[in-house]
A and B are shown apart, each in its own frame.
Chain A
Amino acid sequence: DGGITQSPKYLFRKEGQNVTLSCEQNLNHDAMYWYRQDPGQGLRLIYYSQIVNDFQKGDIAEGYSVSREKKESFPLTVTSAQKNPTAFYLCASSISGTGSGELFFGEGSRLTVL
């Protein structure tokens, strides 16, 4: 089945540690995104990438880093510089170009900082 796989589903981290969230898609989509969701809030864009080896900062990129070395993979690193990293992280993908722009989401990764 085609889809987006995020791992791990739950992650606990001590303060001061970096952690990397995995996102893999087999939809052959060009564009990939990372969103953060806090309780009772909408989604806020962290980073996005429209093609391999290129990515742009979203609205809340500080304390995060990404890479896009392969079309199907877009890992997100939450660094120790991120002041309040506890949140639900959602990866998404979409067709670029003439597509509708509709986002397809993974199941999410819930990060808790102890």
Chain B
Amino acid sequence: ELKVEQNPLFLSMQEGKNYTIYCNYSTTSDRLYWYRQDPGKSLESLFVLLSNGAVKQEGRLMASLDTKARLSTLHITAAVHDLSATYFCAVGGGSNYKLTFGKGTLLTVNP
């Protein structure tokens, strides 16, 4: 059974600082996704990572995938308040495109 672990689950950081969220998964996969969720809202797709070594960047967020280590990272550079949200990673397994989600990381960026 595929298990996905994110850490930390809670992250409080100051504006302007850098930090990394980690996503580990238990079985082989080459499909990993990052989503953002604002309070009371649905999930918004951030990144789709489909191969070992994939790196994608959008604004202050950068995601990478190491399939050999079964690890993805979401790096936040010079955080701003607008990045406050819950971030989920999700891992694909098998041919049926079923995704397994981590519990999410609640990020709070303080002025």
9 smallest beta-carbon distances between A and B, as pairs: A42-B101, A101-B97, A43-B101, A42-B103, A105-B42, A105-B43, A108-B42, A107-B42, A101-B92
Instruction: Let me know if B75 is at the binding interface, CB within 8 A.
Output: no
Taking a contact as CB atoms closer than 8 A, the residue among A43, A48, A108 that contacts B88 in the complex is: A43
In B22-39, the 8 Å CB interface with A consists of 31, 33
Contact A102 B48 (CB under 8 A): yes
Nearest opposing residue in chain B for A102, CB measure: B48
Q: Which B positions have Cβ atoms within 8 angstroms of A?
A: 4, 31, 33, 41-45, 48, 50, 88, 90, 92, 96-104
At the interface, yes or no: A45 with Cβ under 8 Å from chain B?
yes
Interface check A25, CB cutoff 8 A:
no
Contact between B98 and A96, CB atoms less than 8 A apart:
no
Give 1 or 0 for each of A90-110: 1 = CB within 8 Å of chain B CB: 100010100111111111100
Tell me which residues across on chain B come within 8 A of A99, comparing CB atoms. Answer: 97
Q: What's the tally of chain A residues with a CB closer than 8 Å to chain B?
A: 26
Contacts of B42 in A (CB 8 A): 90, 105-108
- The answer to whether the Cβ of A23 comes within 8 Å of any Cβ in the partner chain is no
Compute how far the CA of A96 lies from the CA of B92 in the bound complex, rounded to whole angstroms: 13
Which A positions have Cβ atoms within 8 angstroms of B? Answer: 31, 33, 35, 40-45, 48, 50, 56, 58, 90, 94, 96, 99-108
Chain A contacts for B88, CB-based, 8 A = 42-43
Q: CA A25 – CA B33 in complex, angstroms?
A: 21
B residues within 8 A CB of A105? 42-44
Complex Cα distance, B42 from A105, in Å, reads: 7
B52 to chain A, nearest CB (A): 16
Contact B43 A90 (CB under 8 A): yes
CB pair A100–B31 under 8 Å, yes or no, is yes
B57 to chain A, nearest CB (A): 17
Q: Given A42-B88, A94-B97, are A101 and B31 neighbors across the interface (CB < 8 Å)?
A: yes
